[in-house]
Structure 1
Amino acid sequence: MKCLFVSARSCCVLLDPEGDYYAREPRLLRLNGETLNESEDRSVISLFGLWPDTEYRLQSFRGDAPGEETVFRTLPETCTLNVRRFGARGDGGHDDTPMIQAAILCCPDGGRVLIPAGHYRVTPLFLKSHITLELQKGACLQLCTDRERFPVLPGLTRTTDEKGEYLLGSWEGNPLDSFASALTGIGVRDVRIIGEGAVDGCAPDGDWWQDHRRIRTAFRGRLLYLRDCEDITVQGITFRNSPAWNLHPCFSRSLDFLNVRVEAPADSPNTDGFDPESCSGVRMLGTVFSVGDDCIAIKSGKIYMGRTYHTPCENVEIAWCAMLDGHGGVTVGSENAGGVRRVRVHHCFMRGNDRGLRIKTRRGRGKNAVVDDIRFEHVRMDGVKVPLVINCMYYCDPDGKTPYVQSREKQPVDDGTPTVGEICFEHVRAEGCQACAGYVLGLPERPVERLILRDCCFAFSDAAQPMTPAMANGMESCLRRGLVLKYVDQVILDHVSVRGIKGPLTETESVNSITETD
């Protein structure tokens, strides 16, 4: 048992490091001698309603095993500002934006803005450094559906001396005008957003998902947007029904997302759960996703951002999470022009996703688009159609289906050529697969450098249906196939098994070296 995070009013604790989202056994929990839960079944939990500057002792018991405990002390707090005292009504009808924004702006360093139970109709709120924003259980920020009342974040503004630029808005890897988000942080530091409340984008009640590709004033906002922020923790909050991506930190550092829930209908457009873009030092722990697009998509911009800022997304940990439905469990790209490296996904559970680990890139992303050191460890999948996909010919963007992107002939290596380095799958158990265990399509001129699968077991569903495993031109439909590997330099298979397969374990084309160990 380990304490992962402590604030003045909350803490986050790892109960079972060897579980996935679900602990191996339920546990009885006691806090300072009082029973909290007699059958806690999650590996990572959060506690709220704590007092500042107070010592707590948390005990955990499972079966007949000896109990475990951890002792922690909450942080001090300067004061609490209740938004009701600022005039917020929380009745779901009145506009509570100015009242809540006033409380945020008036909060002193080390203070807390408290949003008690109620339904608060708001337009985008802007965060401030060195505060805690707490949404108590039963509190819900409900985003207004009238986009004419939303501020727009300009994508790119030239500096006064015309030698630089100032970026605010963003859309799919480019600096483009976008609406502000329900919670917007620009250059803020040391912020905690905690509690058992919710942020509801109310997208089904407006026109955000209708004719969603048409730009009306600006691109759609998110539920949480962080730009150039540092030391941010989001804990316990439920995010649902976002106009577009749910959580989008951009060019930010030292970010923790703990015991969050992200929800959107399966058919909702562009409702990715979590999209860290050109960020470093990111932890996503104990979170549940059920969305209409990728659960997690790790990004670093398109070619302009990659060439101009050279900022990878790196040092990302995703652990003890549940990805329930969604196009991809964890996706890298396709906007990865700044590179993505040192990503570790471990002790997670995926159910019903189209793909488990999904790497998407293409010609034109650029020489800085290096995807390397991506590790999947101790991951359990149930009903994931294709556990592993690496696609270097992803047909996104207006030119995505042109010969430049889609040609299977070797092209000149140039400033637009991306790289996929080492990808590692270890201790993965996947039941209920359908199309294939894995599909890898590198580039003829730059093959995937190294693919490692170690101690992995795949099993196909008896009711498996054929599907195309990757989004590229000329992609064949697959059903119960093993590992389909095209344009890979080195493949290492160490104790890999596939049950219910039709055909060989591996089908290779232009693979330089393959090593198999039983």
Structure 2
Amino acid sequence: MNYWFVQVIGAISLVLILGSLNVKVVECKVGRGLKNTEYYAINCRKHSAVLTDFGGVGDGKTSNTKAFQSAIRKLGQYASDGGAQLIVPPGKWLTGPFNLTSHFTLFLHKDAVILASQVESEWPQLPVLPSYGRGRDAPGGRFSSLIFGTHLTDVVITGHNGTIDGQGSYWWDKFHKNQLNLTRPYMIEIMYSDQIQISNLTLVNSPSWFVHPIYSSNITIKGLTILAPVDSPNTDGIDPDSCTNTRIEDCYIVSGDDCVAVKSGWDEYGIKFGKPTQHLVIRRLTCISPDSAMIALGSEMSGGIQDVRVEDITAINTQSAVRIKTAVGRGGYVKDIFVKGMTLSTMKYVFWMTGSYGSHPDPAFDPKALPNITGINYRDVVATNVTYSAKLEGISNDPFTGICISNVSIQVSEQKKKLQWNCTDVAGVTSNVTPNTCQLLPEKGKFDCPFPNDKLSIENVQLKTCSIKKVF
């Protein structure tokens, strides 16, 4: 069979497939104002289909697991021909987990709601993560996330602020009753992948963590509204985990745990896997989390955390701002951390570092594996209604060093504690901080703590204006 004949047959087959699936061709252009059928993405797609083309029923009762799986499987064949997108139209779309494919966009209409199934048998089981060595809820494996992908390139999950509802109460109840044999599912997890965008969505009630990119690179997370009851267990908002070049911006998070938790593996498993989280920028984040941190670095940080840049962030009624959590046995490092511009209201702690967080995967951790915590910089902080200014606890014979704090105004609450700065096993300097700091962080005149002037490569990624022709 000659090459020309193969090309003709292939073209005819593609036309027939497009027609049978009611797949539409879409445009990509540059524009200022967004129309109803436009959105921003790292890449636009040549082909488009709607979930109803694959038998989807948006009544909130009918399972759409097979519809999602079939749609993505069939649309995946256009990866080498401009990619494809699946449109989730208005309606309530009940589904179990489904896997994404490369060069693919999942787009949610503003009136679309994806509902996670509460039928446990619909959730596939996965092995434990190699950098963790065990599940977070139970020693065995874990359930797949609702939206999952591995070894992918160029994946977009976005919309016009459509909703994904994890219906987590079923899983929270099992957690509280100690009935879990596997770790609860996350809402979105992307593994071993490159070029990821998750944006302009409302995510509610995840069974556990909401957004978990892991072992991945070049990630843009933007414009998410994440909501969970403040007493829901382990409902972290965004957890970049052993990832490189990540941008998180313009997100609003109400959580039962850390709004953002930066991770890189757990004790000996994370040390062995050896993949850090590095080159991370977080900006314009708003967080409400009464029992946890706005941003936590750790406690699973055994692969290392380096070059984190945080600016223009707001916390309200939150336990702490940018917190470091680690322990003997973690190994790894947290270094070159830069925070500039925090506005805080009703906080238990402004600055909190913990060197005795505990929580080990098993008794086999190495007590000689000490974390290296150094180069931690905070500047330009305004905080009101604060109980403690700081609780900074390093590790005996392994102090946290290179701490710099400048231009900080803290107004303590009526319930203020007499000892505002509690410092042990730390070293650093401060400038223009009120109330006065501890002896281990002496005032050294007028200066600003450093913040990088260069841009990370992920900050230079420009989103394109993509449009869809006649999809609703």
Map residues 178-217 of structure 1 onto 2, 5 A cutoff: 178-195=142-159, 196-204=161-169, 206-212=170-176, 214=178, 216-217=180-181
8 Å Cα contact 1:169-1:179 kept in structure 2: no
Correspondence for 2:442: 514
8 Å Cα contact 2:89-2:109 kept in structure 1: yes
For 2:265 and 2:215, the matched residues in 1 are separated by 10
Deviations 1:315-335 (A, max 9, x none): 111101111224100001111
Of 318, 324, 328, the match for 1:353:
318
The 3-state SS of whatever aligns with 2:425 is: strand
Deviations 1:254-300 (A, max 9, x none): 11111011111011011111111111111110001101011111111
Of 308, 311, 314, the match for 1:343:
308
For 2:41 and 2:367, the matched residues in 1 are separated by 55
For 1:188 and 1:353, the matched residues in 2 are separated by 36
Correspondence for 1:111: 84
Q: Flag the 1:153–1:290 CA change in 2: closer, same or farther, 3 A.
A: same
Correspondence for 1:26: none
User: What RMSD, in angstroms, separates the aligned Cα atoms of the two structures?
Assistant: 2.7
The 3-state SS of whatever aligns with 2:411 is: strand
Give 1:182's aligned amino acid: L
Is 1:421 the counterpart of 2:394? The answer is: no
For 2:233 and 2:132, the matched residues in 1 are separated by 23
8 Å Cα contact 2:137-2:183 kept in structure 1: no
Correspondence for 1:493: 430
8 Å Cα contact 1:172-1:335 kept in structure 2: no
Give 2:327's aligned amino acid: R
8 Å Cα contact 1:174-1:305 kept in structure 2: no
Deviation at residue 356 of structure 1 after TM alignment? 0.7
Is 1:244 the counterpart of 2:208? The answer is: yes
Correspondence for 2:390: 438
Q: TM-score, normalised by structure 1?
A: 0.74
Which one scores higher on RCO, CA 8 angstroms, separation ≥ 6? 2
For 2:154 and 2:132, the matched residues in 1 are separated by 20
Is 1:387 the counterpart of 2:353? The answer is: no
Deviation at residue 198 of structure 1 after TM alignment? 1.2
Further displaced range: 442-451 or 389-398: 389-398
8 Å Cα contact 1:169-1:177 kept in structure 2: no
Further displaced range: 209-218 or 260-269: 209-218
8 Å Cα contact 1:173-1:300 kept in structure 2: no
Q: Flag the 1:95–1:198 CA change in 2: closer, same or farther, 3 A.
A: same
The 3-state SS of whatever aligns with 2:31 is: strand
Give 2:397's aligned amino acid: E
Of 251, 258, 275, the match for 1:311:
275
Q: Flag the 1:187–1:84 CA change in 2: closer, same or farther, 3 A.
A: same
Is 1:332 the counterpart of 2:297? The answer is: yes
Deviation at residue 207 of structure 1 after TM alignment? 4.0
Deviations 1:194-231 (A, max 9, x none): 11211111012x24433447363421010001111110
State the aligned residue count.
409
Q: TM-score, normalised by structure 2?
A: 0.81
Deviation at residue 238 of structure 1 after TM alignment? 1.2
Correspondence for 1:55: 30
8 Å Cα contact 1:340-1:370 kept in structure 2: yes
Correspondence for 2:421: 483
Correspondence for 1:161: none
Gaps of 5+ in 1: 1-50, 60-71, 157-165, 406-412, 466-478, 499-504
8 Å Cα contact 2:268-2:330 kept in structure 1: no
Q: Flag the 1:77–1:275 CA change in 2: closer, same or farther, 3 A.
A: closer
Of 211, 225, 229, the match for 1:265:
229
Of 56, 60, 71, the match for 1:88:
56
Is 1:78 the counterpart of 2:46? The answer is: yes
8 Å Cα contact 2:333-2:371 kept in structure 1: yes
Deviations 1:138-190 (A, max 9, x none): 1111011121221101227xxxxxxxxx8899734999511011101111110
Correspondence for 1:225: 189
For 2:85 and 2:132, the matched residues in 1 are separated by 27
Q: Which one has the bigger helix percentage? A: 2
For 1:170 and 1:113, the matched residues in 2 are separated by 34
The 3-state SS of whatever aligns with 2:57 is: coil
For 1:332 and 1:213, the matched residues in 2 are separated by 29
8 Å Cα contact 2:261-2:298 kept in structure 1: yes
8 Å Cα contact 2:28-2:44 kept in structure 1: yes
Q: Flag the 1:175–1:258 CA change in 2: closer, same or farther, 3 A.
A: farther
For 1:167 and 1:325, the matched residues in 2 are separated by 27
Deviation at residue 305 of structure 1 after TM alignment? 2.5
For 2:317 and 2:103, the matched residues in 1 are separated by 40
Of 239, 243, 252, the match for 1:279:
243
Further displaced range: 297-306 or 235-244: 297-306
Correspondence for 1:370: 333
Deviation at residue 119 of structure 1 after TM alignment? 0.5
Deviation at residue 481 of structure 1 after TM alignment? 3.5
Of 108, 113, 116, the match for 1:143:
116
Deviation at residue 482 of structure 1 after TM alignment? 2.9
Give 2:337's aligned amino acid: I
Deviation at residue 97 of structure 1 after TM alignment? 0.9
